């Protein structure tokens, strides 16, 4: 595996690469969820590129940009073991030599869920992913469904801008106790870590109720999820929403269309997200 730190260098390296090129953009601190994306790209593509870049544009002024975990040596080792050909690890000044005056905004999808409590976050995500796609020019780009709103934003951006890349959604990976894998899980104290498993339990309980027909309305499902999460004393709910997916519009009847049940909850200073997608009548 080759580590490349400049835009010119990665473009030159990929100029003669075999196609298709699969790309996994990350902020590093790689865990098994990231590795699963790399391994899928390895199975499907001739060349695999992983980027590690902690993007300042997607962090708010009170968020954890300075303390976000960074360990490029470990990320490089894990990437190579998973089958990566090129690791693109630019410095902030390489991608943003001057404060950017151009931002990418995907309207409608970014003013709810995480976008409501993190204004400007998805503008930062869309902007950096757009830049990376132009730099790497992959045939396929891989994203996990844990960040389902991010996935919806990137899918819509690539469609609206006619970017020649296929966005590949990949399943959420979970720990043995059901907690969705996240780079932020390392921030949890042992007690917070134990209580955080309530997220998956709440979503699983709602899923069971929806599948058996006991719940058919979005507001009922959301209420059940909230009530279950509140059984964890340290859980502070940011949001629980049941919306259409990927359009993220308000819905009433769950079975009319594909919907997402999504939640964001704080445990101490750590904000975790999780979700489940329920198919509509035509997909079930």
For the annotated binding site for (R)-pantoate, the residues are 58, 150
Q: Report the distance separating Cα 249 and Cα 270, nearest Å.
A: 27
| Annotated binding-site positions for beta-alanine | 58
| Residue showing tokens 């990320």 | 75
C-beta of residue 183 within 8 angstroms of C-beta of residue 31: yes
- Using DSSP's 3-state secondary structure scheme, residue 146 falls into helix
Tokens representing 233?
A: 């004393």
Burial group, residue 273, by CB count within 10 angstroms (0-12, 13-18, 19+): buried
Query: Is 34 a residue of the active site?
Result: yes
| Residue showing tokens 């309980």 | 205
- Cα-to-chain-centroid distance, residue 206: 22
C-beta of residue 137 within 8 angstroms of C-beta of residue 173: no
Identify the CA nearest to 224 among candidates 252, 201, 258, 248: 201
| Annotated binding-site positions | 27-34, 58, 144-147, 150, 173, 181-184
| Annotated binding-site positions for ATP | 27-34, 144-147, 173, 181-184
Among the options 34, 67, 121, 252, which is catalytic? Answer: 34
For 130-258, where are the E strands, in sequence order? Answer: 140-144, 166-170, 235-244
For the chain, where are the E strands, in sequence order? Answer: 2-4, 21-26, 47-52, 86-88, 140-144, 166-170, 235-244, 259-267, 270-278
Q: Report the distance separating Cα 39 and Cα 277, nearest Å.
A: 23
Residues marked active site are found at 34
């Amino acid at each position: 595996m080759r580590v490349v730190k400049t835009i010119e260098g990665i473009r030159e390296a990929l100029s003669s690469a075999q196609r298709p090129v699969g790309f996994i953009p990350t902020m590093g601190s790689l865990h098994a969820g990231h590795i699963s994306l790399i391994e899928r790209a390895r199975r499907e593509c001739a060349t695999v590129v992983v980027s590690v870049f902690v993007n300042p544009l997607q962090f708010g002024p009170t968020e954890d940009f300075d303390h976000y975990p960074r360990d490029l040596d470990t990320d490089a080792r894990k990437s190579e073991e998973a089958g990566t050909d090129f690791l693109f690890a630019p410095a902030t000044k390489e991608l943003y030599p001057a404060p950017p005056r151009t931002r990418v905004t995907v309207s409608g999808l970014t003013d709810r869920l995480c976008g409501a409590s993190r204004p400007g976050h998805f503008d930062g995500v869309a902007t950096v992913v757009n830049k990376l796609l132009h730099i790497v020019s992959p045939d396929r780009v891989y994203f996990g469904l844990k960040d389902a709103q991010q996935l919806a934003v990137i899918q819509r951006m690539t469609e609206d801008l006619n970017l020649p890349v296929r966005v590949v959604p990949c399943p959420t990976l979970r720990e043995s106790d059901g907690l969705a894998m996240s780079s932020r899980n390392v921030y949890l104290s042992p007690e917070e870590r134990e209580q955080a498993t309530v997220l998956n339990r709440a979503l699983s309980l709602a899923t069971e109720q929806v599948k058996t027909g006991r719940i058919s309305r979005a507001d009922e499902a959301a209420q059940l999820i909230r009530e279950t999460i509140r059984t964890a004393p340290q859980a502070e709910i940011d949001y629980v929403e049941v919306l259409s997916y990927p359009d993220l519009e308000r819905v009433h009847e769950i079975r009319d269309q594909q919907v997402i049940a999504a939640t964001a909850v704080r445990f101490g200073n750590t904000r975790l997200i999780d979700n489940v997608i329920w198919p509509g009548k035509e997909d079930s």
